[in-house]
Amino acid sequence: MIDTHAHLNFYHFQNDIDEVIEKSFAKGLEDIILVGTNVETSKIAVEMAEKNEKLFATVGVHPQEIDEAKEFPKIEALANNKNVVAIGETGLDYYRLGENLEEGKRAQKELLLSHIKLAKDRDLPLIFHNRDSHEDFYQIVKDKDVRGVIHCYTGNVDFAKKILDLGFMISFTGIITFDRGENLIEVIKKVPLEKIMVETDAPYLSPVPYRGKRCEPWMVKEVIQKIADIKELTFREVEEKTSSNAKVFFGI
């Protein structure tokens, strides 16, 4: 099992990070991808990856951290580290833009383009986060010829098809185990296993039956089991394929 998107670099884990990592590997995880969301969390991800060969880092500025856009040169510098396996998370998130809508969208688009350029320069894949922004996002990435994954996929079947046509991967979180994840069943049925990765987005989105608890990487097994149930495959089949997909995608 590989958790392709966890934020063990967040303060939520600062008191027991060693135990969480140990527990995750004891429960069968092979690797964990630590995802940066600003300069600080990107830096911590890189430092953690340097200390443990089963941890890898990504560096980027989350669209909701747009105030840090001017710090992007620091992200470019961090991207030189050999343990950095992707750029992101980046994308467009229009959910909480409120007033200044147009200005906020413009700033996010510019920041997304900076990430795309960095990924191409370093020949690294991208981790994309999108919320209420699918069409704008698609218009930006469609002709950029980049490798990417849409993390925490919550879109519909049509958008999944457009994304797959670009050669992107699709990654699912514990949301697929929620009641409100019902609409994702159809998506999971239609997306080939070769295009699927799994993640927790820890400390958020704990899958059933761990709702209400802090999410930890080993809980990704519930995401794998749900995909296996929907696709009528064994846990083992989904585990092996999603792991090998992640190894190829991140080059680990």
Number of residues that bind Zn ion (CB under 5 A): 1
Least distance (Å) from Zn ion to the CB of residue 234?
28
Residue placing its CB nearer to Zn ion in the complex, 93 or 201: 201
Binding mask 144-163 for Zn ion (x = CB under 5 A): --------------------
Residue placing its CB nearer to Zn ion in the complex, 33 or 103: 33
Least distance (Å) from Zn ion to the CB of residue 25?
21
* 102 close to 141: Cβ distance less than 8 angstroms: no
Site for Zn ion in 184-203 (CB under 5 A): 201
Least distance (Å) from Zn ion to the CB of residue 103?
24
Residue placing its CB nearer to Zn ion in the complex, 64 or 101: 64
Binding mask 201-230 for Zn ion (x = CB under 5 A): x-----------------------------
Residue placing its CB nearer to Zn ion in the complex, 199 or 222: 199
Least distance (Å) from Zn ion to the CB of residue 243?
20
Least distance (Å) from Zn ion to the CB of residue 237?
27
Residue placing its CB nearer to Zn ion in the complex, 201 or 222: 201
Residue numbers at the binding site for Zn ion (CB under 5 A): 201
